Structure 1
């Protein structure tokens, strides 16, 4: 009899936790849907992919021009309404054709937005956020962005599909949009990395250390994109968990290749003003990468346009009520493993 009562209590507790998680995830979905409305997010669904076209000016010399409908559609997004809610909003991150389309934030540490939405609501969904030690204007050689890998397909869950060459071919671009326009990054690598690996390095002493970093990234990549960044490029590192334990992360890396300036940036350039975002001092903190949080319900492969033969089963490596570890430290430009853990409850 006692055993039956115990089983009943365990079952009731599990149901209660499931209901709580469902409510939390629904609240998170509503928060991000509101963000899309406030920012008047343009619809990229039917836009053609960027292409190189040839123009023949009056002098007769043909010139290659990169036509980017995505950047053109995104370049004039207005973040005023979002910043009235939260001044930590930097802009917006988008990977066309996937579920990745969220406000991009930066806090004073790398813990807060692991467990708070862009509206600062407490939630396991968290937010997509910039490494606190990176420059706010994303001018560093390597800029790191963290996000949860949710089992319902939200946040950075889509990144796991980049282990497939065909998925990269269908979704090769990342766009970061801010007050000065939309910036196109072209994905060149995807791989699993140790939290103590070079990937999270922020500070570089010169071109030689940058080249070592790039060589490491290219060697680790499980996809062959044919894209080779140089020490003069700007690298974007998107980081999420792997589900293979607390000591590894899954990263997708891209290099800045172009985009479209906003009307305000063009006007500033024409008037001789500086058209760049002011940088902020790097925050003191150990950096934290986002850990996977299990979700109820099936992941929507269709939302990410995953080819039928690449759909993956829903993974549930982490247990409900589990813990989320602190992340690799980027202090002084070196990545190291952090031992402190932060409870998600």
Structure 2
């Protein structure tokens, strides 16, 4: 199950109380105050890792509490600090304060950490309050409370290339042919109910991460269908492959389909519309009038877009598409071996 949104409660540990104590030793009848300080409460820390790929863990556990600091002791012994609570989240997780919407951190690298709740300071023992005029204080500080808050965790996939288009545009079939990803494929809308990542490799030094994003329908930017799930995951991609179904059995004119998807991108965020797009006509094996490809090519190239045509089913045009992608990212022509 792919879960990319979660709401959790975190609470840091409380600081330990300072101690009120006095030395009572055989040869030191007036040893004075000897209450130690309380320990600091543990922090709650989010840690990004590639070992996790979804936020599924937070479906079953939503409350996280760090360890309290120990209370101070006699003979000036300080209490032990509480241990920090480390919570692993997938790389690509955005952390927000649930009440204010403030972005606290954006965890985009392996091992990156974010303290989301700080432990309370330990209270000072009575030994800290001794003065020439008050040599035997009978009071100490209480430890401070640890911070607590509700958080929103939002996972945004990190991929080089996002594959977009209306439902049934051929996204799942394409990524299965270009990479070793195995998305569920069938002939109905919303085949891909969650994003799928795959790696397109030429050699050890040249590889691209592709993301097959759930299909988009009109009104997605207002939350219809899988819209927000779709839009969230293309924010980090560098290039978009915009797939258009050109088969004889298509439900929508390819140019209309292109503009429908881009309207949703623009309404969600203008920055999405500014991303480079490569327009890809798909399912050309089921196109009887190939003159349509020439017309579409002229139209999109005239608009400043790279245009390719492919059949993921037969493999026609796939090598050309690979070359276009690697040229975009590595700025060089690459020779492929089958």
> Into which bin does the TM-score normalised by the smaller protein fall?
under 0.3
- TM (normalized to structure 1)? 0.23
- TM (normalized to structure 2)? 0.24
Between Structure 1 and Structure 2, the one with more helix by share is 1
- The higher radius of gyration belongs to 2
